[in-house]
Every structure is written in structure tokens, then in C-alpha cells.
Amino acid sequence: MAVLTALCWAVLAIGLKLALHTFSSGSIVWMRLIFAFALLLVAFTWKRRHWLEILRHPPWRGVLAGALIAFNYFGFMKGIELTTASNAQILIQLAPLSFAVISIILYREHPTLFQVIGMLIALTGFGFFYWDQMLVSWDRLESFQIGNLWILGAAASWAGFALLQKELTKTYKPQQFNLLIYAVAALLLLPTATFSEMQNVSFLPWVLVLFLAVNTVIAYGALSEALTRIPASHVSMIIAVNPLLTLAIMTYLTRMNVGWIHGEPVGWRGLIGALLVVVGVILTVTGRPRFTRERS
């Protein structure tokens, strides 16, 4: 299940980049969320209808989580639009790194030596990768910088979302919680959708949009199932590898010079940086912090 999640997220960024050939960022994100919401709504109406109660009486923290995931999805999409799928996948790793740091501060934990080393390795990796991408994007540096700001915002909003999710999934089932956040996010992002783009569209773009929605449901569903079967540290270690899978796929497609997606050149600095980021994030999120006080 964890490997399935990693594979879904590895191809997700590439699918989002392809969808930009037909739709704008706002339309893609909104359709992805509304389709994902519809799939869960139909499934729960047929089975587990009592889970729909969360839509009638949504917890305020669930609504806030939905708002944060809306910004996360939109910011990540804008980052892909203005930079590259590989760049977005690497920089979004700031999300689990930020979550680990916030958790350490919030719960007054002492980070382990592995976590400190992991953070330093990850930060070094981000530096190498950013340096490489600046060199290959010099002719469109302003757009590249704006895209990276969107990704940083997406990472920060995901860290806040993860904190709320950690608490709410003690009361609600993970997919029940997902139903609420998809509904809230789709509602908030409705103004970003351009419905005129959805007219006279051929069959294949709609298949791609449906794939992106199904990808979302499967990835988070598989993640929830994985967390019930193996330790969270093992799950984190597996899914943290997904940026390298994206990078490998895009490197191959770039070398093959395919015509259906733009190439994404990555130099030796970027490859080293990406590897350091993944190793650093794995060390940080799988390290077991020591508590300074009992949790209430």
C-alpha cells in the first residue's frame, strides 16, 4: 500500500503537467477535487452512509484543514505550471520536513541526532537542487522564482493540514475526513475554475482529469491502509522516495525527446541535491524524538 502511494504520487506531477496543455491550473485542481469528492460521495452513499454525517455537521478544524489543502493543491499546481514537475516534487519535500520541525517545537521534543543530521542533509540537498534549477532556468528566472514561492506556500499549508489531520483522524475515519476536505477545497477553489475551457474538449483530456482524481483517492486511501498495517516511520521512508521516481521518469522522457511533454533538464548538482533531499527527509521523519514532558 505504501509503494502504491509512492507510485501514485510519482506520476501525479507528470499527469498535472500534461493536463496544463488543455486546462488552466485552477480548472485542473477544481476538477480533480470535485471528481475525488464525487467518487467518495457515491461510494459512501452506497456503503457506510453514516459517514456522510460529517458533511452535515463539519468540525471547524476539518473546515480549516480543507482550506489549507485547497491552498496546498493550488499552490503545488501553480508551481508545476511555472517551473517543472521534477522541481515541484523535490521542493514540496519541504512539507514533511516542516511538519517534523513544527511537531518538535509544538510538542517540546528533543530532536534525535539522526533528525538533526537529516535536516542538515535535506537543507544541503535543497541548496544543490535549487542552484542547478536556477542555472537551467536562467532565461525565465522570474517565472521560476514565483513558481517556487507557490510551492513553498503549498508546503507550509500542508504542514498545517497534517497537524489538523493528525488530531481529527482520532475521531473520524481517514476517508471520511477526506470526503470533508475535498468538499471544502472544491467549494473554495470554485472561483479559480474556468468553465469555458471545459467545452468542446476531446476525450483524452477528460480521461487524464479522471485519472488525476482517481489517483488522489487511491493514493490517500492506500496511505491510510498502509498506516494501519506497518509503522508510520516505514511508510514515510517508502513514500519519501517518490520524488526520485518522478525525476527518473522525467529524465528518461527528456533523453528520449518525446513530443508530448517538455523536457526537464537536471544537471549533476540537481541529481545530487535530489538524492540528499530524499535521504535527509527520510532521516528526519523516521527519527524518534525524545520527549521533554508527557503529552496531555
pLDDT along the chain (296 residues), means of 10: 87 92 94 91 89 90 94 95 90 84 75 85 90 82 91 92 83 87 95 91 90 86 75 72 87 82 80 90 71 37
pLDDT at 288: 58
Best CA proximity match to 218, nearest among 19, 64, 23, 12: 12
pLDDT at 77: 95
Distances (CA, A) of 70 to 10, 34, 83, 99: 20, 12, 20, 17
Q: Where are the alpha helices (DSSP H) in the chain?
A: 2-19, 25-46, 53-56, 60-82, 85-91, 94-106, 113-136, 141-168, 174-188, 203-227, 232-239, 242-256, 268-286
pLDDT at 185: 95
Helix (H, G, I), strand (E, B) or coil at 20: coil
The Cα–Cα gap between 49 and 65 comes to 22
Sign of CA dihedral 125, 128, 133, 136: negative
Give the alpha-carbon dihedral of 60, 159, 246, 278, to 10 degrees: -150
pLDDT at 191: 95
Chain position carrying cell 491510510: 224
What the block records as the C-alpha cell of 142 is 522570474
What is the value of pTM for the model shown?
0.87
The Cα–Cα gap between 201 and 22 comes to 8
What is the secondary structure of 28-49 as a DSSP string?
HHHHHHHHHHHHHHHHHHHS-G
The Cα–Cα gap between 139 and 69 comes to 32
What the block records as the C-alpha cell of 224 is 491510510
Best CA proximity match to 148, nearest among 66, 90, 73, 102: 90
Beta carbons within 10 angstroms of residue 224's beta carbon:
17
The Cα–Cα gap between 273 and 276 comes to 5
Query: Would you say 31 and 193 are in contact if contact means Cβ atoms under 8 Å apart?
Result: yes
pLDDT at 3: 87
Query: Would you say 223 and 235 are in contact if contact means Cβ atoms under 8 Å apart?
Result: yes
Query: Would you say 294 and 140 are in contact if contact means Cβ atoms under 8 Å apart?
Result: no
